[in-house]
């Protein structure tokens, strides 16, 4: 895996909130098709890191390189706004914890999925609709609800729709911020199963921010443990969970095992 160039290269990313360092000098590489979980308790800086890496909030220091399809590795913050927007809606996806933030709630499921296609210039209604129906099926939703708005959907369905809306352009990298939290346990399990199938089936690279080690165990190849803005441990998921080295990781793992 390491023989190929990475898909994403994060170097020295640092973010301040006032005098506090919310993210402190974080570096890592992500390879094509690899799923990386970023775990830590709330306030550890994991969501701030995700937003910095996903080019949503510019970090105070550091670089975020992405292996583009045509121009090789490019620093996302040196791109023009237009290039960054294009990247964010073609080769990237972003799944919000709260689906309301990632969906247009008063627009039908079909239009939610089709929006990226239309933004890229697709002008054939029939094709957009067919593609939307196809993606609803792939996220295991009833295609008969293509004309319903997300407002009428359950939490789990909204999350599925959000995923379909992101995947319709076949991105190579998806950012996910606590994609399953806030859902019932049984719904969580099904959604995790779907995410696992999709990331494996599409060779999708992903960065999944979660406080739930079970999510990391099920989805991620590799994981990164954050505490107070710093990465305290990183390694293969099973290795970190079964044989944690850092005292903080040991505490996290044991607190899950002994609720």
Partner 1 sequence: MKVSDLPPPVERDANFNFAYLDERTKRMIRRAILKAVAIPGYQVPFGSREMPLPYGWGTGGIQVTASIIGPDDVLKVIDQGADDTVNAVNIRRFFQRTTAVAVTSVTTEATIIQTRHRIPETPLHDGQVMVYQVPLPEPLQKLEPREAETRVMHGLADYGLMHVKLYEDIARFGHIATTYDYPVMVDGRFLMAPSPIPKFDNPKMHMNPALQLFGAGREKRIYAIPPWTSVESLAFDDHPFEVQRWSEPCALCGATDSFLDEVITDDRGGHMFVCSDTDHCRLNRQDDDR
Partner 2 sequence: MYVAVKGGERAILNSYALLAQARRGDASVPELTLDQIQQQLRLSVDRVMCEGSVYDPELAALAIKQAAGDLVEAIFLLRAYRATLPRLGYARPLDTADMRLWRRISATFKDLPGGQVLGPTYDYTQRLLDFTLAASGEAQAGPVASPQSEAGAVPRVVDLLGNEGLIESHEPSPGDPEPVDLTRVPISFPADRAARLQNLARGDEGFLLAMGYSTQRGYANSHPFAGEIRFGLVDVEIEPEELGFPVSIGEIEITECQMVNQFAGSKTEPPKFTRGYGLAFGASERKAMGMALVDRALRATELGEAADSPAQMQEFVLSHTDNLEASGFVQHLKLPHYVDFQSELELVRKMRAAMPESGAEAA
> Which of partner 1, partner 2, none does residue 108 bind (CB under 5 to 8 Å by kind)?
partner 1
Provide the token pair at 131.
């593609």
Which of 129/190 has CB closer to partner 1? 129
Q: Which of 186, 184, 249 is nearest to 216 (CA)?
A: 249
In whole angstroms, how close is the CB of 94 to partner 1 at the nearest point?
16
116, 89 in Cβ contact below 8 A? yes
> Which of partner 2, partner 1, none does residue 19 bind (CB under 5 to 8 Å by kind)?
partner 2
> Which of partner 1, partner 2, none does residue 18 bind (CB under 5 to 8 Å by kind)?
partner 2
12, 63 in Cβ contact below 8 A? yes
- The Cα 217–Cα 170 span in angstroms is 25
- List contacts with partner 2 (CB under 8 A): 17-20
Which of 171/179 has CB closer to partner 1? 171
In whole angstroms, how close is the CB of 78 to partner 1 at the nearest point?
17
Which of 83/239 has CB closer to partner 1? 83
Which of 51/188 has CB closer to partner 2? 51
In whole angstroms, how close is the CB of 16 to partner 2 at the nearest point?
9
* HSE (side-chain half, CA atoms, 13 Å) at 62: 23
> Which of partner 1, partner 2, none does residue 233 bind (CB under 5 to 8 Å by kind)?
none
In whole angstroms, how close is the CB of 75 to partner 1 at the nearest point?
20
Provide the token pair at 74.
């490019």
CA dihedral 153, 155, 156, 162 (to 10 degrees): 80
Q: Which of 217, 172, 225, 226 is nearest to 199 (CA)?
A: 172
In whole angstroms, how close is the CB of 244 to partner 1 at the nearest point?
45
In whole angstroms, how close is the CB of 172 to partner 1 at the nearest point?
20
In whole angstroms, how close is the CB of 180 to partner 1 at the nearest point?
27
- List contacts with partner 1 (CB under 8 A): 81-82, 85, 104, 107-108, 110-111, 114-116, 118-120, 123-126, 128-129, 146-147
Which of 48/166 has CB closer to partner 2? 48
> Which of partner 1, partner 2, none does residue 125 bind (CB under 5 to 8 Å by kind)?
partner 1
Which of 1/19 has CB closer to partner 2? 19
Phi then psi for residue 81, to 5 deg, are -55, -40
Which of 20/85 has CB closer to partner 2? 20
């Amino acid at each position: 895996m390491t023989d190929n160039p990475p898909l994403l290269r994060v170097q020295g990313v640092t973010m301040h909130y006032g005098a506090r360092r919310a993210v402190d000098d974080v570096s890592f590489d992500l390879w094509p098709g690899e799923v990386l979980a970023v775990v830590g308790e709330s306030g550890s800086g994991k969501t701030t890191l995700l937003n910095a890496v996903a080019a949503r909030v510019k970090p105070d220091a550091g670089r975020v390189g992405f292996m583009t399809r045509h121009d090789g590795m490019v620093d996302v913050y040196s791109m023009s706004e237009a290039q960054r927007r294009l990247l964010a809606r073609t080769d990237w996806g972003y799944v919000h914890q709260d689906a309301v933030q990632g969906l247009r709630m008063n627009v039908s499921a079909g239009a939610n999925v089709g929006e990226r296609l239309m933004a890229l210039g697709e002008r054939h209604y029939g094709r957009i609709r067919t593609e939307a129906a196809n993606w609803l099926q792939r996220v295991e939703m009833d295609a008969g609800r293509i004309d319903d708005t997300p407002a009428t959907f359950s939490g789990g369905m909204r999350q599925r729709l959000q995923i379909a809306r992101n995947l319709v352009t076949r991105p190579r990298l998806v950012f996910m911020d606590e994609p399953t939290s806030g859902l019932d346990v049984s719904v969580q399990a099904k959604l995790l199963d779907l995410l696992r199938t999709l990331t494996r089936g599409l060779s999708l690279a992903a960065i999944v921010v979660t406080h739930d080690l079970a999510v990391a165990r099920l989805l991620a190849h590799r994981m990164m443990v954050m505490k107070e803005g710093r990465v305290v441990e990183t390694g293969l998921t099973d290795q970190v969970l079964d044989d944690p080295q850092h005292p903080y990781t040991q505490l996290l793992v044991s607190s899950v095992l002994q609720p």
